[in-house]
């Protein structure tokens, strides 16, 4: 089974290959109607991909892992997740794994936002902005960027796992 560092190297190498292919494709389609949308979508994809590679790894189901430690003090928020999911169980399922981490992170974000709103009457206007702008191609770029590194991680685990 590859180490966490090897997983990250493979995921970043894949991102580099995707970036080169996208740059080549962008040059070929320079006069297409959607060309002006390419850079913002590529940025959304790349940022989501990096966030997922560094912070939303399937190995968050381990109490001690590089992705777990990258959260700094917030790593303690992932301890219940690690207790809930055994290593290489649901968290390493190609569909349920990324969804479980995004749902879990969403629960924490909702709790923090609700607390801020309740305690300090903080308005959440930025949520309306996100809702209006994060649709269509942008939502696809975000979704693929969040899920693809997880799929690479899981694929590497399956290819290099000990058959015993």
The average pLDDT across 98-117 equals: 93
Q: Which two tokens stand for residue 14?
A: 């894949």
Average pLDDT, the chain: 87
- Is pLDDT of 148 > 60? yes
- Confidence at residue 137, expressed as pLDDT on a 0 to 100 scale: 86
Confidence of residue 125 (pLDDT cuts 50, 70, 90): confident
DSSP string covering 57-126 = -GGGGSSS-HHHHHTGGGGGGGHHHHHHS-TTSGGGSTTHHHHHHHHHHHHHHHHHHHHHHHHH----HH
Predicted TM-score (pTM) of this structure: 0.87
- Confidence at residue 22, expressed as pLDDT on a 0 to 100 scale: 82
Percent of the chain scoring above 90 in pLDDT: 59
Residue 45: other Cβ atoms inside 10 A? 23
């Amino acid at each position: 089974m590859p180490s966490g560092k090897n997983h990250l190297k493979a995921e970043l190498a894949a991102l580099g290959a995707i970036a080169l292919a996208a740059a080549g494709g962008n040059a070929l389609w320079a006069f297409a109607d959607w060309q002006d949308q390419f850079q913002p979508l590529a940025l959304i994809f790349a940022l989501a991909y990096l966030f997922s590679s560094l912070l939303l790894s399937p190995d968050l189901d381990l109490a001690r892992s590089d992705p777990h430690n990258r959260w700094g003090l917030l790593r303690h928020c992932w301890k219940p997740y690690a207790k809930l999911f055994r290593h290489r169980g649901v968290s390493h399922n190609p569909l349920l794994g990324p969804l479980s981490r995004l749902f879990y992170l969403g629960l924490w974000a909702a709790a923090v936002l609700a607390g801020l709103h309740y305690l300090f009457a903080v308005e959440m206007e930025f949520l309306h902005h996100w809702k209006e702008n994060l649709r269509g191609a942008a939502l696809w770029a975000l979704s693929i960027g969040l899920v693809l590194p997880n799929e690479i991680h899981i694929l590497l685990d399956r290819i290099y796992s000990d058959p015993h």
